[in-house]
Amino acid sequence: MTKSAKSDLLSRTPPLEVGSAYTAFGLRAEAEPIRAGLHVVATPIGNLRDISFRALATLAAADVILAEDTRVTKTLLAHYGISTPLMAYHEHNAAVVRPHVLARLQAGAALALVSDAGTPLVSDPGFKLVSDAAAAGIEIISVPGPSAVLAALVVAGLPTDRFFFEGFLPSKAQARRQRIHDLASIPGTLVFFESPRRVAEVLTDLAEVLGNRPAALARELTKHYETVRRGALPDLAAELAKEEPPKGEIVLLVGPPSDDESALSADDLDQRLDEALLTHSVKDAATIVAAHTGHNRRLVYARAIERAAAKANSNEP
């Protein structure tokens, strides 16, 4: 679609057609008019039956649907007999399209924003549009529904009272391990999205940095071949390293640090390391302290290097 065509689609202000409707359970239902504003609509993460009646009615009644990938959304709309015009809105065209979208909203349109799957703004480019719309005084309406993050949490068997959604870790190994270090002390379950081809090496890095924490790998949630594998991080990493890359969408979850790990204060760690460094190398001191405290060895080793360097500098003339 050309730039002028995109502008034309967004600038049209057609009245809501009386025939706006959707089909569910073999029945055709009329969609009532919806109020002007940006409707953020959650869509299924796999199973098309997981959409709500409100979401169907909103999509049918909207003037335009902003979709991350129009091909994906077109499949959903066809399944439910919805003929609302589609407009691509993704990270590669957002800067160009967003001003036209905002102008259309300010003119009184009712637009629906969807992602390829699940709740918009979770690992997709919708945040900037919602932020700018809010700043412009445009009403933003949430139409809640499926989310891969929550779907994975409730089947993982890990603590759900606190969790931290990280999204995708860096693709480069060094940056990825550093980011995992940064997340190590968060007192809640960690949730990651990951690609099938990289999941084995990511699990290996998680196990090396976070140690023997409980974890889960959820694959193809809500779909026919849904699987959830649970176990200690080192065990899952070892299993995946021996297998062909899994297929489908993946969510990784890692339990929070243990009480013993959390209770070990920085002062306690430094004291133990200083004592061990009197008679052992940095590597051996870190291994001994990690074994005695249950603290992650990689984190202890990094701190041992810092303590050894500080001691060496203090002894310089």
Residue 212's domain is classified under what CATH number? 3.30.950.10
Within this chain, do residues 57 and 105 fall inside the same structural domain, yes or no? yes
Within this chain, do residues 110 and 41 fall inside the same structural domain, yes or no? yes
Within this chain, do residues 63 and 22 fall inside the same structural domain, yes or no? yes
Q: Which range of residues forms the domain containing residue 33?
A: 3-146
Within this chain, do residues 119 and 133 fall inside the same structural domain, yes or no? yes
**Domain end (from 257, 276, 298):** 257
Residue 316 has what pLDDT?
53
pLDDT band of residue 268 (cuts 50, 70, 90) is confident
CB atoms within 10 A of CB 128: 13
Q: Is the pLDDT of residue 16 over 60?
A: no
Q: What is the mean pLDDT of residues 176-198?
A: 92
**Of 28, 80, 83, the residue nearest 49 (C-alpha):** 80
pLDDT band of residue 57 (cuts 50, 70, 90) is very high
Q: What is the mean pLDDT of residues 169-198?
A: 92
Q: What is the mean pLDDT of the chain?
A: 89
Within this chain, do residues 201 and 174 fall inside the same structural domain, yes or no? yes
Within this chain, do residues 37 and 59 fall inside the same structural domain, yes or no? yes
Asked whether the whole model's pTM tops 0.85, one would answer: no
Within this chain, do residues 10 and 136 fall inside the same structural domain, yes or no? yes
> ∠216-218-220 over CA atoms, to 5°?
170
**Cα–Cα distance measured from residue 9 to residue 5, given in angstroms and rounded to the nearest whole number:** 6
Q: Is the pLDDT of residue 267 over 80?
A: no
Q: Is the pLDDT of residue 17 over 70?
A: no
Q: Domain of 74: which CATH number?
A: 3.40.1010.10
- Counted domains in the chain: 3
Within this chain, do residues 135 and 154 fall inside the same structural domain, yes or no? no
Within this chain, do residues 127 and 193 fall inside the same structural domain, yes or no? no
Within this chain, do residues 112 and 81 fall inside the same structural domain, yes or no? yes
Length of the chain: 317
Which residue reads 């905002």 in tokens?
A: 102
> ∠199-204-208 over CA atoms, to 5°?
145
CB atoms within 10 A of CB 194: 21
For 102-139, write each residue's pLDDT tens digit.
999 999 999 999 999 999 998 777 999 999 999 999 99
pLDDT band of residue 260 (cuts 50, 70, 90) is low
For 208-242, write each residue's pLDDT tens digit.
888 899 999 999 999 999 999 999 999 999 999 99
Q: Which of 23-37, 48-62, 164-178, 249-263 has the lowest mean pLDDT?
A: 249-263
